[in-house]
Structure 1
């Protein structure tokens, strides 16, 4: 299957291809646009609906100030990726995106050609707006498609239909060098055969990257109340595991192996920005409800900003930033985070780096137990990873190893 013009995955031997983990995962900038046209019933992300409209100029000014504040904390850095997440960043005017990107370029060194991703929903896609984002510097788009049939799109509370999704995917492939889209599986009444057919269609559309997430019922969402009342029945544990295994096998057979629990890509087309998280790099989190991890002269710190957009604006106006949390991470906390993030990856973790952070080695008895039960495997003397079976119980594996 050939990729569409402009969306071919980088050759694995090219300079643009993803390189093996070197222990220096880079410095990402995450920019959170918290507004959506509607709140999906399964979503517990920090997203907000404002029917009265958004003063985008006011938010641009606030982003500019918070970027300056983050630069004061981080010091001079070379940015390796940027990511507009949400919410629905594709509700932003292209001029808003351009102004925020200019502020990042003014604060840090931003080499030409780095990955700059923007999340988009098909219902908010317009060709002119997409071209505006491309002109501003966005070179990768991540589409929240979620399903490829109208019945499930309605059930998931999405504002677009199948036809809009296909149109948006086509536009993204035409305009951006790289494109990915999300699907949710383990949906109510979903069968293995139906998911296989939908997944194979998705692979034919996606070119080089797919994010495939199991539906989870999160407390505080409308789906949680429906599920608790017995009005929303999702696949049981056995069927969910079968759907996960089917997802892994089908994507692998079509040349998009899972490089992370829920992310599949042709070699070289992995998300650079998300790899920064999973390889436990540094990233500045900017905007309402954004989280960050920054290495400073005093150690690595965790940052979090005010979740409510209007309160965040007030804090930035008063203090120059909207941060409500800055806490130093101990060596053991960093080691635990490295374990939690790194074991999501097919490449696993470098045990030497983990030992440098934690000041100890993994417990040999626990490691041997997990290997003998097929939960993890020793790739080299200095690297382990979860097996596909271990990925199904990842939290338990991490808890065992971190003990």
Structure 2
């Protein structure tokens, strides 16, 4: 059953122009109302048969969860432990922005139980931070990283690359600086222009032109080479870590294990069912007040759908996926999962690998992951 819990805090001080996450800017949030609602939402999940195993990971995402009062984080974690219990090696991650105001809460958050922080640094160049709409500067980022390393066992930083006009040399310099900071985990994302964001409008109006695919692929190769040489190889398309420092929470998703999601817009997968909460904060609060939970939709997942999701998630990982075990788990015949002819073709081209019942995508194939998935995963499995 569920081994991971996701808690969504939907509020930000400003909406970043590239962001399509469920984040909202509000003048104020009644912390008492949010404590009551989040506690009720998690109690509903705990009463729904998700407490057979203790939790291995908890993730506070957003939005900007480092804006949560540490006392609220502590209260939620106390209730979570009472409801589910904690694995002795539990990972408790909180996403944070590297502003001086939020970094000032790191000591209290560590006391509350957070033992891993993911810092949304995004760039080590001030002009890029301004372009990305970030509210911190590089000096604050360096200070926040140092402060985080003094309070948390594990620290990860996020960076965005493949930005307009960015060269391989520029990215290599910036990434080298990031690698020198001594964190054991890096999430390195190529800038993606998402629909319904301000950047999508800017591109449509000709304000800037995204980096073309060929140059983005060059930067991807630089990323792989430098992180591998530094001892932080890619274990997923965009995530790099020293061995043993991988995000246990995200591995729950990519390995298609059960997890509970609470808070506005949170998704969950547990007991062969998919759940999604109301996205708008006010609607979420109203739903909890009227029904005792924030679920907007809950539906059963057919076995073919679960198998498809497991394939699409698992093939993001360098470790690949146990195809034999997957077929057995979802009672789907293995030939219905993968087009063997296409797999053989891309294996011969060096883009995929297979052996001992497992398949995966090679480092050379990872830049083409979406296209490979569309070719290799059986169409009838995805859309029966």
Distance 1:75 1:290 in 2: 16
Structure 2 stretches lacking a partner, 5+ long: 379-384
- Would the aligned equivalents of 2:96 and 2:102 in 1 still touch at CA under 8 Å? no
Per-residue CA deviation, residues 335-386 of structure 1 (Å, 9 max, x unaligned), is 11111110110000001222122511133222212212222111x3211110
Matches within 5 A, 1:177-196: 177-196=153-172
| Corresponding residue for residue 262 of structure 2 | 286
Per-residue CA deviation, residues 92-133 of structure 1 (Å, 9 max, x unaligned), is 110010111112112112133410000000126445411111
| Corresponding residue for residue 362 of structure 2 | 387
1:359 aligns with 2:332: yes
Cα 1:249–1:125 shift into 2, 3 Å: farther
| Corresponding residue for residue 56 of structure 1 | 31
Per-residue CA deviation, residues 25-78 of structure 1 (Å, 9 max, x unaligned), is x61100000000000000000000002x11111101101100011112233232
1:198 aligns with 2:181: no
Per-residue CA deviation, residues 279-325 of structure 1 (Å, 9 max, x unaligned), is 11111000000000002xxxx01100000001100000100111011
SS at the partner of 1:193?
helix
Structure 1 stretches lacking a partner, 5+ long: 1-23
Matches within 5 A, 1:85-96: 85-96=61-72
SS at the partner of 2:163?
coil
Distance 2:344 2:312 in 1: 19
Q: 1:70 pairs with 29, 45, 53, which one? A: 45
| Corresponding residue for residue 145 of structure 1 | 121
Distance 2:36 2:324 in 1: 43
| Greater shift in the superposed pair: 355-364 or 266-275 | 355-364
- Would the aligned equivalents of 1:29 and 1:79 in 2 still touch at CA under 8 Å? yes
1:106 aligns with 2:82: yes
How many residues are treated as equivalent by the alignment? 373
SS at the partner of 2:342?
helix
Asked which structure has the greater RCO (Cα within 8 Å, sep 6+), the reply is 1
Distance 1:354 1:399 in 2: 18
- Would the aligned equivalents of 1:125 and 1:168 in 2 still touch at CA under 8 Å? no
Computed over aligned residues only, the root mean square deviation of the Cα atoms, in angstroms, reads 1.3
- Would the aligned equivalents of 1:116 and 1:139 in 2 still touch at CA under 8 Å? yes
TM-score (norm: length of structure 2) = 0.95
| Corresponding residue for residue 342 of structure 1 | 314
- Would the aligned equivalents of 2:97 and 2:120 in 1 still touch at CA under 8 Å? yes
Distance 1:126 1:324 in 2: 31
- Would the aligned equivalents of 1:34 and 1:87 in 2 still touch at CA under 8 Å? yes
TM-score (norm: length of structure 1) = 0.90
Distance 1:268 1:189 in 2: 35
